[in-house]
Amino acid sequence: MKPLINSLFISKNADELPLLRQFCAEQHIAFHAQSLLQFEGVPFEVKHPFDIVFFSSIRAAAYFLAHSTVGHADIACVGQKTAQKLTALGHIPTFIGHQSGNPSQVAMDFCSFVGQRRVLIPCSDISARSIAKALPTVQVEEVVVYRTIAKSVDVPACDTYIFTSPSSVDAFLLQNEKPIGQVIAWGDTTAARLHELKIEVSRVLKTAGEEEVVEVLRGN
């Protein structure tokens, strides 16, 4: 059955979304995909030894690994997509979050994995700090390895919008009115920002991946 969707915007670039792009083509849904953010690496220094490094995204990993190494530390990451990309780079995680769209649950599971060990978290300058806040301060060091810059983009009116981060929501509103239609949040932190702005959320993704997006759009 054809979804009751004529047009869709998602705040990611199309080349990151081959499955979703194909689905929209098959269903004759006008597909608008564009990141509303740009990123820039910043100088950083790791001040303390660490037993585990936690990557909340492949972007954090890329900026960190461009200038530093994990040494003998265990590698942990937020979910399967990041794990796949890390593995492709030769860094196999020993901890993978099962619901990257639910950072609170990932944080709880990660705390159990950590025990008394020290953790390094490379992050953005606007990180939500979901993992760091769940750990004792003495056990964690956060290192900002890149900064996030909002782009002002005029987005065509659609009947479905998918926002992939809180910062993407804020960037959208720089140039556009609040979305009218179905709004899908790429996880709990994005949903929380949308709620703060009084934007109704139709669905919150659990795994925060394009496969789940396609299932939601199919009506499953």
Q: What is the pTM of this model?
A: 0.82
d(CA 187, CA 21): 20
Average pLDDT over residues 59-69: 95
**Domain ranges in the chain with CATH number 3.40.50.10090:** 7-36+151-218, 39-148
Tokens 């639910």 label which residue?
A: 102
Examine the pLDDT at 129 and tell me if it is beyond 70: yes
d(CA 37, CA 198): 22
Average pLDDT over residues 151-169: 95
Q: Using one digit for the tens of pLDDT, what is the confidence trace for 82-116?
A: 999 999 999 999 999 987 778 888 999 999 999 99
Examine the pLDDT at 3 and tell me if it is beyond 70: no
Q: Which of 78, 101, 82 is nearest to 91 (CA)?
A: 82
Q: Which tokens go with 121?
A: 């978290």
Residues with Cβ within 8 Å of 9's Cβ and at least 6 positions away in sequence, in order, are 32, 33, 34, 155, 156, 158, 160, 161, 162
CATH pick for 39-148 out of 3.40.50.300, 3.30.70.2860, 3.40.50.10090, 3.90.1150.170:
3.40.50.10090
> How far is residue 17 CA from its own chain's centroid?
14
Architecture of domain 7-36+151-218: 3-Layer(aba) Sandwich (3.40)
Q: What is the pLDDT of residue 2?
A: 47
Average pLDDT over residues 120-146: 95
Q: Which tokens go with 138?
A: 């003495």
